Structure 1
């Protein structure tokens, strides 16, 4: 089959790789009809390459048609149309029984000290071949895949694999009080959905913060009050001013480890990325720092006693944090990989609604064949050609 493989920093290539096969009775094989490039994939493209090997198949946002199932898979069958959650969970363990699917104890990558295995996401998370491919082997398929109707375009459903539940969890964790204000830092795909979800749930005021014109315009079309970073000297101070000096009741960091405005951390990430993997891995594991401008903005702008919800991915082990300010102001911090299946029953009615209240139909700006995936990565990372979200068709 054809699949998108990692070859080196900023270098991905579509190659022929072996077709996946059933290995365990809880496996399924899915023929991929649509797969997406996620903002988290860009961290592999740039920062986390030390944990990849040439030929690793990337991608963790995928959906398609079931081709084959193992003997213990009964809730889906060949011919079913399914979305595959990005985290691999058993649904049976202590963590899963509490809805903490991203911490599944059956698939935890214990030798790396990490949570549940993820599709297409480095040796830190199990080196499981990903979904930017023609076919995908799905472990724990007795629980994971989400069955969806055969009617309707893939664009309606594919985001259930990651960014839609990730945004839903971000808003849930933000816990905006009635009549409150939410600020979303970063209007990439997760930030876009977070603002729409918040408005759909009745949050009175939603402010979206970014510096990319196309992202700001798209959020504005959905009723979001937007703040262009390029127009202000201090984003946190501006958010305080916009909310009467108190600050938003909650903020969401939808950016993560590669935020703009953190030149020293960017230089450190770049320097580590130039080292051989054998030297880079221990540095990343023990001393890595993230570009924290978005997170610090979220912390410094939220009101006293407010909540900061973090959905952006971080990988640093030595990140400086404004602890005195966080403690003094009583800031609550909630974060983590999304527990995808925990939120699906809540989200599905909106996805099935013909009025498309979350705007799933207008998020993708680029629909490309799988063979053009390298181009998709390039324009998504560089924010070229008004790119907000790339979908690939194998």
Structure 2
């Protein structure tokens, strides 16, 4: 089958790889109808994610049709159309039983590697390094889905592939980011990053009752898309974000701040963001946390900082003194997608949101390598790429 594979920094190829096979009775095989390039895939493209190996199949936003079913993959049948969560969960361990599927104790066969870096291991993820299981991803013609009786959700015929595809990751992630904020009707929510997750967070914040959303970015197309949702936009290349947030909130700060950027904050934003980039380039640091620093400073006393942008290692100069002395709550995590699927599918079915609004580019797997570059470089107004194998 064809698949998109990683061969080093900036080197994504569409090539032939072996077809997946049933390896466990709880597996299913799906024929991929649609998949997407995620912002966190760009971290792989840019060489920032450790433990990648040449030939690894990429991708963790996938949906398709079930074509083979293991003996214990209950609830699914050949021909079912399903969306696959990017988090792989057993459904039985301590964390799964409590709804924290992305902390599953059983699905990362590389957990000892993860423990050395992070102190403990999260769940396995599709297409996201040998720190997180080395699972083949879904930017391919077919995908093996382990623990399929827990993960995939069947979707109704009346909803299109593009309406439901982002249930695999970015819609639940953006929704969780807003949910972490515990939004009250008069709240102002500030969101850094108007990429796909940020766009979902903006709309989710309004769905959950925010009075005002302030969206921070510099890419014109992304700022315009945020404005169509009703957000007030700030361009960090044109304005001092801290000063403007304080002005807009009468000196108090935003009720909650969402970091939807993570490790690759724009190095042009400020002196500290430039220093972060130098540190990463010279192996003196692992991440570029300028946005997180700014979000903490812009948050009101006893507010919440919600972090869904991906970080991988050790962050320098985080203003913990500010967070502690002003009573901030920091909430973060990889999204336990399975927890959100039924309710968010319901919101789509009711017409409360159509996540396909974020798609700007479509293509085939053969076009995938070029589209990776387009997305990574934010060229041609690119916000979100969907591929059709």
TM-score bracket relative to the smaller structure: over 0.9
- Shift of the 172–87 alpha-carbon distance from structure 1 to 2, 3 Å rule, reads same
TM-score, normalization: structure 2?
A: 0.94
Q: Is the 8 A contact 2:57 2:136 kept in 1?
A: yes
Indicate the residue corresponding to 1:175 in structure 2. 182
Q: CA deviation at 1:264?
A: 2.1
- 1:75-154 aligned within 5 A: 75-108=75-108, 109-112=110-113, 113=115, 114-154=121-161
Once the two structures are superposed, the pairs formed by residues 260-339 of structure 1 within 5 Å of their partners are 260=266, 261=269, 262-272=273-283, 288-339=285-336
Shift of 1:192: 0.3
What do you get for the CA RMSD once the two structures are aligned?
1.3
> How far apart, CA to CA, are the structure 2 residues paired with 1:268 and 1:323?
20
Note closer, same or farther for the CA distance 1:46–1:291 as it changes in structure 2 (3 Å cut): same
Alignment partner of 2:301: what SS? coil
Q: Measure the CA separation in 1 of the matches of 2:326 and 2:361.
A: 42
In 2, the alpha carbon distance for the partners of 1:106 and 1:9 equals: 30
Distance 2:209 2:275 in 1: 39
- Determine the structure 2 residue equivalent to 1:187: 194
Query: CA deviation digits over 1:183-206, x for unaligned, max 9?
Result: 111110010011111112221111
Give the direction of change, closer, same or farther, for the CA distance of 1:188–1:39 in structure 2 (3 Å limit): same
Map Cα deviations across residues 323-368 of structure 1 (whole Å, 9 max, x no partner).
1111111111000100101112221221112x4x324232100011
Aligned residue in 2 for 1:390: 385
The whole-number CA distance in structure 2 between the counterparts of 1:99 and 1:301 is: 31
Q: What is the alpha-carbon distance in structure 2 between the residues aligned to residue 359 and residue 230 of structure 1?
A: 30
Query: Deviation digits for residues 268-323 of structure 1, max 9, x if unmatched?
Result: 32344xxxxxxxxxxxxxx7431111111111000000000001000122432111
- What secondary structure is seen at the aligned counterpart in 1 of 2:55? coil
Q: How does 1:216-295 map to 2 (within 5 A)?
A: 216-232=223-239, 234-260=240-266, 261=269, 262-272=273-283, 288-295=285-292
Q: 2:204 corresponds to which residue?
A: 197
Pick one of 153, 159, 164 that aligns with 1:157.
164
Matched, 1:363 2:358: yes
Superposition misfits of 4+ residues, deviation over 3 angstroms: none
CA 1:300–1:106: 2 relative to 1, 3 Å: same
Distance in 2 separating the partners of 1:23 and 1:45: 29
* Conserved? CA contact 1:9–1:49, under 8 Å: no
Corresponding residue for residue 343 of structure 1 = 340
Residue 155 of structure 1 aligns to a residue whose secondary structure is: helix
Contact 1:288 1:315 (C-alpha < 8 Å) held by counterparts: no
Other structure's SS at 2:189 match? strand
Instruction: Measure the CA separation in 1 of the matches of 2:77 and 2:45.
Output: 35
Give the SS at the match of 1:256: coil
CA deviation digits over 1:235-255, x for unaligned, max 9? 122111111100110010000
- Counterpart CA distance in 2 for 1:346 and 1:243 is 32
Question: Matches of 1:268 and 1:393 in 2, distance apart?
Answer: 38
Higher helix share: 1
Structure 1 portions without partners, runs of 5+:
273-286
Q: Tell me how far apart the structure 2 counterparts of residues 203 and 14 of structure 1 sit (CA, whole Å).
A: 43
Partners of 1:338 and 1:293 lie apart in 2 by: 22
Report the TM-score when normalising by structure 1.
Answer: 0.93
What is the aligned length? 377
After TM superposition, give the deviation of residue 53 of structure 1 in Å. Answer: 1.0
Structure-1 separation of matches of 2:210 and 2:331: 19
Q: Which moved more, 1:374-383 or 1:359-368?
A: 359-368
Alpha-carbon deviation of 1:176? 2.0
Q: Distance in 1 between matches of 2:102 and 2:204?
A: 21
Secondary structure at 2:197 match in 1: helix
Is the 2:50–2:131 contact (alpha carbons within 8 Å) kept by the matching residues of 1?
Answer: no
**Partner of 1:278 in structure 2?**
none
Q: For 2:82 and 2:23, how far apart are their aligned partners in 1?
A: 20
